[in-house]
Amino acid sequence: MATVKKRAKKALKICGMADNDYRNKIVTIAKALLKMDNVVILSHRAPDGDTLGCAFALCRGMRSLGKKANVICADEIPAKYSFMSEGMENQPFEAKHFVSVDIAAPHLLGKLTDEYKDKIEICVDHHLNNSIEAPLKLVDSKAAATGEVIWMLLCAMGAAIDKETASCLFAAISTDTGCFKYSNVTPRTHLIAVELMKYDIDCANINFHLLDEVSQAQLELKKLALTTLEYYCDSQCAVITITEDMIKSTNASPEDLDGISNIPRSVNGVECGITMRPIPDGWKVSVRSSEKVNASELCAKFGGGGHKAAAGCKFSESYEDAKKRLVDAVSEMLSQQ
Amino acid sequence: MATVKKRAKKALKICGMADNDYRNKIVTIAKALLKMDNVVILSHRAPDGDTLGCAFALCRGMRSLGKKANVICADEIPAKYSFMSEGMENQPFEAKHFVSVDIAAPHLLGKLTDEYKDKIEICVDHHLNNSIEAPLKLVDSKAAATGEVIWMLLCAMGAAIDKETASCLFAAISTDTGCFKYSNVTPRTHLIAVELMKYDIDCANINFHLLDEVSQAQLELKKLALTTLEYYCDSQCAVITITEDMIKSTNASPEDLDGISNIPRSVNGVECGITMRPIPDGWKVSVRSSEKVNASELCAKFGGGGHKAAAGCKFSESYEDAKKRLVDAVSEMLSQQ
């Protein structure tokens, strides 16, 4: 199987990488995949473009090699990703092998956790603290999207990449990078995009549906949420609130709530943006911040966590009390600058 | 000057291009720039990231070669682009040569039109119907941003590219592509981004300030405008309206109005999104559309024009009459599908 090594080397070269250890990992996983048939590819609950794009790209690649493969997910696939599964009806076979893509921890299998968490043989991911237990793991935290790793694996395997497969991988990368916007983007991200564009994929259309398109309910919710926007700490902290009433009156889904949490931080001069939404036993808080406020440290004060620029926590007290504690903590962090 | 040719060839190769005619054009302009000193670089009125990014990148490149060069613009530089001009105080010299970047037509020089329109010696642009008159023109309508062309010119000239220059060019490209989101993006766009990233530029920060950051006034205006959102034609057409009162109460600048016009089209199922805003003698209309409605044809019915997916027109009649004529025309176009 010297060709797997050659193909892996070529893929890495395209990415501007010359890391032998990394190449060997790709070769090991690619060889293991090539030995498998009747494969179930697992994606995470509340699926996004990266987990689904990876799953369907890998599934298409496996099928292009004459193998039987299916994708499964605990939750329904949102309409905006339905293009990925076109022509990919489930194949009837007795499942023999299980591969997880973009799943950081066993519980993220959702309602499929108990059934599959101990069966995973290959885990491919890009989340730093991946806690899946599997004999073969490839966790590349420098990859902006797991889609980057799947592209390298498909190349190493010699799988056919067609327009549909390339579209899945592009969608995976576009989702996790906000279309090449975030700090996780590396030269590799752009270089793989160039390769995928060779398959005549409709990048702009994919980007529009994945990133810009909103539902009527989502826009209605945004309108209502904007009426709650408040500024604190000399307008360096902004708070937006989603209420039960808003969710009921707009019939918004949990997915529809996602776009809101970037709004307060996006205001010029705001160093810390806070979004509060009701949960059964209190309030769920999303924090987005500039370099002046460490969102992870802020949320840790209240038992939460996350990253420096994006984190979350929960409160069981009243809305006003929760907000006051948060804003006071932000104020203190800003004054320590 | 054989080296200019070699350097141009290398830059084109990086972009995956092997077009001798195009290379010769780059060589001609690069050689002309190398012969110049005391150069004034002109950017367009109501300046955006592309015209300013090109102007300051070229200016920095010229200065790196020991030449005197300044950037001028009819209008003030918006705060979000101020990083481009840092350390770029105007140099005192008697202007001898004039270069325009990203300016599609003479009147886009704004209040500088009369003074400079007949003095331009080199015009570098990417607008298909460029109407600048100049002895040397390089109009590359396949470039997503004029920034792509300026990068090739700087390479061909052998100008030093540093972090600041690379940041200007990245901002130019990010502005005109919505951060690699639109259909104008080509492999070249990504490949130049990879080159610019070698200078350790803070891409994510540039993207945030250019694309995501909003003013308090802008967000307030968005909130008010959203209350006017109406759906027509079985929700395939959406109309949003900005009123005089909204502009007054939020103290919004013309720039603050820009983000609104993409909203109605962004709703799932909407094929044609219309934004109406008051002008002294009536209403200015911005249209954004899917492939089902040709925005340019729609606006042409009312004396306007533009592109297939984004166009504009004006009405002198009342708000209700203007809206009715527009929606009727959209309805007719949708029924012809």
CATH no. for residue B248? Answer: 3.10.310.30
CB contact under 8 A, B181 and A197: no
In this predicted structure, what is the pLDDT of residue B329? 97
Which chain A residues are closer than 8 Å to B219 by Cβ? 226, 229, 263, 266-267
Which chain B residues are closer than 8 Å to A268 by Cβ? 213-216
**Tens digits of residue pLDDT in A184-202:** 999 999 999 999 999 999 9
In this predicted structure, what is the pLDDT of residue A337? 78
Which chain A residues are closer than 8 Å to B212 by Cβ? 181, 262, 266
CB contact under 8 A, A226 and B227: no
Question: How many folded domains does chain A comprise?
Answer: 2
pLDDT at B1 over 70: no
* A307 contacts chain B (CB < 8 A): no
SS3 A230: strand
Which run of H or of E encompasses A217?
helix A216-226
In percent, the amount of chain B with pLDDT more than 90 equals: 93
Please name the residues between 112 and 141 in chain A that touch chain B, using a CB distance below 8 Å.
none
Residues B21 and B92 in one domain: yes
pLDDT at B2 over 80: no
Please name the residues between 193 and 252 in chain B that touch chain A, using a CB distance below 8 Å.
193-194, 197-198, 203-205, 207-208, 211-216, 219, 222-223, 226-227, 229, 231, 235
pLDDT at A152 over 80: yes
Q: Which domain holds residue A306?
A: 216-335
CB contact under 8 A, A194 and B190: yes
CB contact under 8 A, A203 and B185: yes
* A13 contacts chain B (CB < 8 A): no
Which chain A residues are closer than 8 Å to B223 by Cβ? 223, 226-227, 229
* φ, ψ at B306 (rounded to 5°): 145, -140
CB contact under 8 A, A204 and B183: yes
Q: Are A84 and A53 a contacting pair, CB within 8 Å?
A: yes
**Tens digits of residue pLDDT in A289-309:** 999 999 999 999 999 988 898
Provide the token pair at B333. Answer: 């176009």
Which run of H or of E encompasses B289?
strand B282-289
Name the strands in the sheet holding B136-139, side by side, starting at the edge strand that comes first in the sequence. B69-72, B39-42, B97-101, B122-125, B136-139
Residues A47 and A112 in one domain: yes
Residues B71 and B127 in one domain: yes
* B309 contacts chain A (CB < 8 A): no
d(CA A189, CA B235): 37
Question: How many angstroms separate the CA of residue A206 from the nearest CA in chain B?
Answer: 9
Please name the residues between 29 and 48 in chain A that touch chain B, using a CB distance below 8 Å.
none
Residues B241 and B151 in one domain: no
pLDDT at B50 over 60: yes
In this predicted structure, what is the pLDDT of residue A159? 98
Provide the token pair at A6. Answer: 């050659």
Which chain B residues are closer than 8 Å to A221 by Cβ? none
Mean pLDDT of B140-154: 97
CB contact under 8 A, A219 and B185: no
Residues A114 and A203 in one domain: yes
CA distances A225 to A220, A291, A324, B174, B219, Å, are 9, 25, 19, 29, 12
CA distances A185 to A21, A177, B201, Å, are 22, 6, 12
Residues A20 and A109 in one domain: yes
Burial B7-43 (b: 16+ CB within 10 A, else e): bbbebbebbebeeeebbebbbbbbbbbbebeebbbbb
Strand partners, A286: A275, A312
Which chain B residues are closer than 8 Å to A231 by Cβ? 216
Mean pLDDT of A163-173: 98
Among B182, B186, B190, the residue with its CB nearest the CB of A190 is B190
pLDDT at A1 over 80: no
Question: How many angstroms separate the CA of residue A198 from the nearest CA in chain B?
Answer: 9
- Tell which wins on pLDDT, A255 or B65: B65
Which chain B residues are closer than 8 Å to A178 by Cβ? 179
**Tens digits of residue pLDDT in A53-91:** 999 999 999 999 999 999 999 999 999 999 999 999 999
In this predicted structure, what is the pLDDT of residue B259? 82
In this predicted structure, what is the pLDDT of residue B113? 98
User: What is the CATH number for B49?
Assistant: 3.90.1640.10
Residues A178 and A284 in one domain: no
In percent, the amount of chain A with pLDDT more than 90 equals: 93
Which run of H or of E encompasses A221?
helix A216-226
In this predicted structure, what is the pLDDT of residue A117? 96
Q: Which amino acid is at A252?
A: A
Residues B201 and B222 in one domain: no
SS3 A152: helix
Residues B170 and B81 in one domain: yes
pLDDT at A155 over 70: yes
Domain boundary among B211, B229, B245: B211
CA distances A134 to A39, A125, A131, A137, Å, are 15, 12, 9, 6
Q: Is A281 exposed, middle or buried (0-12, 13-18, 19+ CB in 10 A)?
A: exposed
Domain boundary among B179, B211, B243: B211
Residues A157 and A186 in one domain: yes
Domain boundary among A185, A211, A237: A211
CB contact under 8 A, A212 and B183: no
* A308 contacts chain B (CB < 8 A): no
CB pairs under 8 A between A and B: 106
Which chain A residues are closer than 8 Å to B193 by Cβ? 180, 190
Mean pLDDT of A268-286: 96
Residues A187 and A47 in one domain: yes
CB contact under 8 A, A214 and B190: no
Question: How many angstroms separate the CA of residue A308 from the nearest CA in chain B?
Answer: 14
Residues A137 and A36 in one domain: yes
CB contact under 8 A, B219 and A263: yes
* B160 contacts chain A (CB < 8 A): no
Q: Whole-prediction pTM value?
A: 0.94
